[in-house]
Structure 1
Amino acid sequence: MSCSVSSIFGVGELKTQVIKPEETLTPKPLLIYTPVEAGDYPLLILLHGYLLQNSFYSQLSHQIASHGLIIILPQLYSVTGPDATKEVEYVAELTNWLPEGLPKFLPPQVSADLTKLGLAGHSRGGKVAFALALNRVKTELKLKFSALIGIDPVDGMDKGKQTVPKVLTYVPHSFNIEMPVMVIGSGLGEVRKNPLFPACAPKGVNHENFYNECCKPACYFVAKDYGHLDMLDDKTNGIRGKATYCLCKNGKCREPMRRFVGGVVVAFLKGYFEGKFSYLMAIKDDKIAPVELQKVDFLL
């Protein structure tokens, strides 16, 4: 069991490919990671962090897709201000596009099981994911999400300095979300890289606060010695890519944190999409994660 469970922290058996549809044919520019073997696979929408490129998540996406999921990463914007309302609306539009639009870009032998639809977001993308799930921005969704994941989610600059739309209420267990939720946190996210810049995941608006407002069922993992951007690719190109190594407090290297995030996402979705909770329980109880966990908690 431990050998098979630990395999989720690496690339799985399924070969994968990346598809970049024509931008004019989709609501937003997309990257699609999909297994190439024939099958009907669950789908996960993954939202990028603040001012990041969706391509910075390629290694993480390949890992997750290789365990039997289709991953869609929209590029929500190039430049944006503090208000994330439009991003929530874009994700709703993308979700409504899926039934008719997505099959045109998948390999003929591959299909998406839209009854198993997950929504995940990193950093500001995590805020956007929660805002959509909580209907903080009024949207009409044709599909129902089955699972929600916040990867080091951030709701602004500080408590009292939340950005629009505000997600956190500071009322314990106030999130009325009718689906299982997982929150992943970074132990170094609330630590400043240097005095000139704020922490990338400030205390008061970070993973701890998001989890405190979750209801059952929910789970929570915090990786001790890793930072807010340590789940990105090893090499992130361009000025924005270089900045990912300069603005946030980082761990020694990204690979262990990225493998952990990919593995725990796979374990969570296998549990709630397939009923295979042994993977998730092994991470909780057997300490098989490739990182030291600062905190683990479950609301069941």
Structure 2
Amino acid sequence: MSTSTSSSLNVFEVGKYRVEFQRVEAAETRCCSSKSSSSVSVPPPKPLLIGLPGEAGEFPVLLLLHGFLLSNSFYSQLIQHIASHGFIVIAPQLYTVAGSDTSDEIKSTAAITNWLSEGLQSLLPPHVQANLDKLALAGHSRGGKVSFALALGKEEITTSLKFSALIGIDPVDGMDKGKQTPPPVLTYVPHSFDLDDMAVMVIGTGLGEVRRNPLFPPCAPKGVNHEDFFYECRKPACYFVAKDYGHLDMLDDETKGVRGKATYCLCKNGKSREPMRKFVGGVMVAFIKAYLGGGTSELIAIREGGHEAAPIELQTVEFLL
């Protein structure tokens, strides 16, 4: 294995930074916030789970959107992995109950993005600075659809801050082709996404389109999943598909509550969540660093190393450059 490939493996392990977590309630529940009213000058539009490096520095920011009916807390180990490499990760709880229409989630994500410049820094320790000139957006499952929708300006919604990188983690646009949830994102026209040269990464799962049992549809149905999202991307874009892992395998090892228990029985899963979570966290770190000014060596090493570089077997590795 080459030196560059060996170094890329570091992104798949925990980084050098100790990670701290903060929970911040939304404006309407401010009286119950884990942060006192006096310490939060401008409360966020939605509840937040924030993972940040515990050491001093200025760090890029990643906004991470949860999947359908999932809790942001289910991503705490993924958040910890990413934050340990020198990122501030903000995971909002967009809703607890939702219908098919994602318009409110798009609007909420835009509102959170606009809030960052006026409210985020007051939540952070004085020695930790958020660099909002280096801002990335990522979403899992339905959150992936919402991320693409916001970046594409659906619902004619814009943000005051500009995202430099976009990541879809097993994104899903509905139940089937022709049964997309509104507003639809996929057009089925090659390279049709007009993202103003924003760098894009799509991560897919080989088992996402496989039914867990005949009573439920697959969690990432063919025709509205990662394959179709990447098909519409323009360069620069990269695409990874994890062969033997499922739609929820990047979540925490243990997800509690009724919704947490459901994550083990609704989707086809791999043998263990840890390898997939390490891969997703690592490739996200490498991608964001590559396109937010942190260096391209780790992403290039993963591209060149392929199966050898990743902690899981990859079904697909493709780049549009």
Measured against the shorter chain, the TM-score band is over 0.9
Q: Which amino acid aligns with 1:32?
A: I
1:17 aligns with 2:36: no
Q: Is the 8 A contact 2:25 2:46 kept in 1?
A: no
2:164 corresponds to 1:146 = yes
Distance change in 2, residues 1:275/1:66 (3 Å): closer
SS in 2 for 1:205: coil
Which of 79, 92, 95 is the aligned partner of 2:113? Answer: 95
Identity %: 66
Output aligned runs, 1:233-252, within 5 Å: 233-252=252-271
User: Which one is further off, 36-45 or 273-282?
Assistant: 273-282
Match of 1:162 in 2: 180
Matches within 5 A, 1:249-260: 249-260=268-279
2:312 counterpart (281, 285, 291): 291
- SS of 2:146's partner is helix
1:77-98 residue CA offsets vs partner (Å, 9 max, x unmatched): 0001000000000000000000
Distance 1:169 1:55 in 2: 32
Q: 2 CA distance for matches of 1:19 and 1:114?
A: 19
Superposition map of 1:1-300 within 5 A? 1=3, 2-24=5-27, 25-178=43-196, 179-286=198-305, 287-300=308-321
Mapped to 2, the partners of 1:122 and 1:137 lie a distance apart of: 20
Answer with 288-297 or 22-31: which moved more.
Answer: 22-31
Which piece of structure 1 moves more, 92-101 or 131-140? 131-140
Letter matched to residue 5 of structure 1 = S
The 1-side partners of 2:84 and 2:319 are apart by 26
Give SS of 1:20's match.
strand
Report if the CA contact (8 A) 2:150-2:158 is conserved.
no
Query: For 1:241 and 1:22, how far apart are their aligned partners in 2?
Result: 21
The one-letter amino acid paired with 1:298 is F
* Structure 1: distance between partners of 2:54 and 2:279: 24
The letter of the residue matching 1:92 is: A
* Cα distance, 1:118 vs structure 2: 0.2
What's the offset of the Cα at 1:238? Answer: 0.2
Q: Secondary structure of the residue that 1:118 maps to in structure 2?
A: strand
TM-score, normalising length: structure 2: 0.92
In structure 2, distance between residues paired with 1:276 and 1:73: 25
The unaligned stretches of length 5 or more in structure 2 are: 28-42
Quote how far apart the aligned CAs of 1:141 are: 1.0
Residues 27-75 of structure 1: per-residue CA shift (max 9 Å, x gap): 0000010001111100000000000000000000000000010000000
Q: State the 1:23 CA deviation.
A: 2.6
Give the secondary structure class of the aligned counterpart of 1:274.
coil
Q: 2:35 is matched with which residue?
A: none
Paired with 1:167 and 1:21, the residues of 2 have a C-alpha distance of 31
Q: Cα RMSD (Å) of the superposition?
A: 0.8
- Quick one: distance in 2 between partners of 1:144 and 1:285? 30
Instruction: Please list the CA deviations of residues 92-135 of structure 1 after superposition, one character each: whole Å capped at 9, or x if unmatched.
Output: 00000001100110111001111110000000000000000001
Q: Which amino acid aligns with 2:24?
A: P
Deviation (angstroms), 1:137: 1.5
* One-letter code aligned to 1:151: I
Question: How far is 1:136 from its partner?
Answer: 1.2
Question: 5+ unaligned residues in a row in structure 1: which ranges?
Answer: none
* SS of match in other structure, 1:184: strand
The TM-score with structure 1 as length reference comes to 0.99
Per the TM alignment, residue 17 of structure 1 is displaced from its structure 2 partner at its CA by 0.3
How far did residue 284 of structure 1 move?
A: 1.4
Deviation of the 1:270 alpha carbon: 1.0
Q: Shift in Å at residue 275 of structure 1?
A: 4.9
SS in 2 for 1:148: strand
